[in-house]
Structure 1
Amino acid sequence: MNKKINRKIEKRNSGKAYRFSFFIVLSIFLLMVIATSAYLNLTEEPERIYVSLPYKTDELNQILYRDKIIPVHKEVELNKYDKSSFYMSGDRMGYNDGRIKSIFGIDVSEFQGNIDWQKVKNDGVEFAMLRAGFRGYGGGVINIDREFLNNLKEARKNNIDVGVYFYSQAISVEEAREEARVVIGWVMNYDIQYPVVFDWEFTGDPIARTENIDPSVLNDCANAFCQEIANAGYTPVIYFYRDLAYLYYDLSKINSYDFWLAEYNEIPTFHYDFKMLQFTNKGRVEGIHDGEDDVDLNISFIDYSRQTFSELN
């Protein structure tokens, strides 16, 4: 009987000792977690902006975009548009904060076919950005857009302000300057109210000559094109979408010129300032394929027809 009691006491004591040891280990673990958390909270970490959320305009050190950490360019003007002042009317965006009122426009190329510009005007279009031409991404040959001159003449005949863009595939400063000079030659005998735009984009084709361009070369190409355009008396602008702006361009190197942003959200989230916004590529406008086909829609926050490049800067 005494042996059985002793064994019971031993089992009871060993269970208590096990539980005591478990609580000691658990307490140490919790203390380590608390200490680690406190250390991390004390460690300085630059504030980030998640650009998928509505933009902020406070001082930030980093941007988180597509899981990449990008330094904020302090010298580049921020996006200070009032997000509550954007509105949609059907498929068309507008902006009015009482100080800035947007102007509605389109951008077109030969892919929109033969456009009835009177119908376009009657449908409320105030300005049009016309593709002047493009450089091939394979052989690098410069081509004029087959509808460019007709679009230019007909849009102006119907009192629509026009600007032009060139689809660049330049891989050197020399090629960018060549593109600008060609465009200047095409437009010099016409009245251009809106900007002349450097539109460099990746093609998505792995064999494209531009596929592995160094970002510093891209910055240099944009500046070279725009400098030629400005020297000829036109207003230069740089077009980009967010991937290109955040991941390839160094905006601090090209911020002498206005930006034309492509972002297809109800409220643009882009962190930096832009003067034109392409807000959809699926718009409808009377006079373009009978209003039954997609066309890019834009708003401008500046009436470029009333200001020159020197006045803007």
Structure 2
Amino acid sequence: MRRLSAVPVLFFACFALAGCASNSGPEDIVAGVAPRETTGSITQPVAPVPSVSVGKTSRISAPQVQHEPQTETLAWSGSMPAPQAFVQETTVGMPVPSERPVAMLVPDRSVVEAPLQRRMQIYSRRFRDAKPINFGRVSPKDYAVHGVDVSRWQGEIDWGKLRTQGANFAYIKATDGGDHLDPMFKTNWRRAKEAGLKRGAYHFFYWCRTAGEQADWFIRNVPRDPDALPPVIDVEWNHESSCRQRLSPKRVLEKMQVFMDKLERHYGQRPIIYTAPDFYKDNLRGEFLDYPFWLRAVAQHPSKVYPGRKWLFWQYSGSGLSHGVDGKIDLNVFHGSVEQWHNWISPRTTLARN
């Protein structure tokens, strides 16, 4: 009797089994069609998600988001765009980047309004003045955000009381020259923040010391706090100082530039220039146009004393009186509205200048 070969039998059996186990046709295999599956609880959309416009949502309410002009576009289905380089701002105030990278967008009401909820409370001005001045048509009371500047001469300060009197910001004396630290600086620096004030530090410039040494001394003693206001260089003629040098305007500008460049590289913020009328007239008219100025003018509005000069802070009194402080205190205003103040104090960083 003839015996069938085992090889053909096995061949036909395997072919039949393969046909029963597969649900995909040959064209599916060739085309490489992926099986339709659901992974976890996330269902893949059939069509691409449309792009979403990204506006300046931090300054508008939720219902207006739908009507905000499209300034940037983020395609959710695409890859994340590379972060944009920060560009140094040269307008008055803290330098701000011209663009910021968009990491994520959640078009939700709570996200839109979150920045408003974290804003510091602005207290209205309750200060008095031992020597009140009639400033005319525009006076300090016409500005919304008031503050103070202090040093060792104010002694122990009740920062909580001072805050509720209208001190929304404080500039605190830190250093002068290349070897003097105000003995109350560390205490005032800590307590002002605990009381909820925005605070910054200032340096009294000494014309008989090199600018580099003075910058190093300031940096050594003033913490690099991203929440702090920009550092201040106080430049004026001090008639009570042991330094009697009267440098030429050229040398004054050179020394200031060295000091400010070093601070800007370290703190990431452009320093503010504080000055008085006589020093300004001798050295600073028409200079440092891309720096913010803090101007002393205790008898007239800054527009009268410093014609044409843009300013950020105005020191309008050296004879202020307030609860929380024994004796007199310097009073100041911010040049802008409450909204502009909140925008200005937002954390910002500049590129270090080469």
The reply to whether TM is greater than 0.5 is yes
Q: Equivalents in 2 of 1:244, 1:296: separation in Å? A: 19
**Correspondence for 2:275 among 222, 226, 240:** 240
SS at match of 1:248: helix
RMSD: 2.9
Q: 2:169 aligns with which of 106, 117, 127?
A: 127
Task: String of CA shifts for 1:292-311, please: whole Å, max 9, x gaps.
Answer: x1111001125342253649
Q: State whether structure 2 residue 346 is matched by structure 1 residue 306.
A: yes
Residue 246 of structure 2 is matched in structure 1 by 212
Match of 2:44 in 1: none
Q: Does the residue aligned with 1:131 lie in a helix, a strand or coil?
A: strand
Indicate conservation of the 8 Å contact 1:215/1:250, yes or no.
no
Match of 1:182?
Answer: 217
Name the CA shift for 1:149/1:88 in 2 (closer, same or farther; >3 Å): closer
* Superposition TM-score, scaled by structure 2 size: 0.54
Q: Following TM superposition, where does structure 1 have runs of at least 4 consecutive aligned residues deviating by more than 6 angstroms?
A: none
From 274, 279, 295, the counterpart of 2:311: 274
Shift of 1:88: 11
State the structure with more CA Rg: 2
In the TM superposition, what whole-angstrom CA distance separates every residue of 1:154-205 from its partner, at most 9, and x where no partner exists?
Answer: 0000110001110110346xx2222222222222254552121111222214
Deviations 1:95-140 (A, max 9, x none): 65xxxx54210000001101111111121110000000112xxxxx
Task: Provide the identity percentage.
Answer: 23
The one-letter code matched in structure 2 to 1:116 is D
Please tell me the residue identity of whatever aligns with 1:181.
D
Residue matched to 1:158: 195
Matched, 1:118 2:152: no
In 1, distance between residues paired with 2:319 and 2:280? 22
Instruction: Give matches, 1:276-291, under 5 Å.
Output: 276-289=313-326
Equivalents in 2 of 1:176, 1:225: separation in Å? 5
How far the C-alpha of 1:226 sits from its partner, in A, is 1.2
Higher helix share: 1
| Equivalent in the alignment of 1:18 | none
Query: For the structure 1 residues 250 and 219, does the alpha-carbon distance in structure 2 shift closer, same or farther, using more than 3 Å as the test?
Result: farther
Counterparts of 1:274 and 1:307, CA distance in 2: 20
Task: Quickly say closer, same or farther: Cα 1:279–1:199, change in 2 above 3 A.
Answer: same
Alignment of 1:291-302 (within 5 A): 293-301=327-335
1:148 corresponds in structure 2 to: 185
Counterpart AA for 1:104? H
Q: Distance in 1 between matches of 2:157 and 2:190?
A: 12
Does the 8 Å contact 2:200/2:228 carry over to 1?
Answer: yes
Shift of 1:230: 1.2
Matched to 2:195, the amino acid is N
Between 237-246 and 147-156, report the one with greater CA deviation: 237-246
Match of 2:255 among 218, 221, 224: 221
TM-score, normalization by structure 1: 0.61
Q: Quick check: 263-272 or 213-222, which moved more?
A: 263-272
Q: Give the secondary-structure state (helix, strand or coil) at the position aligned to 2:284.
A: coil
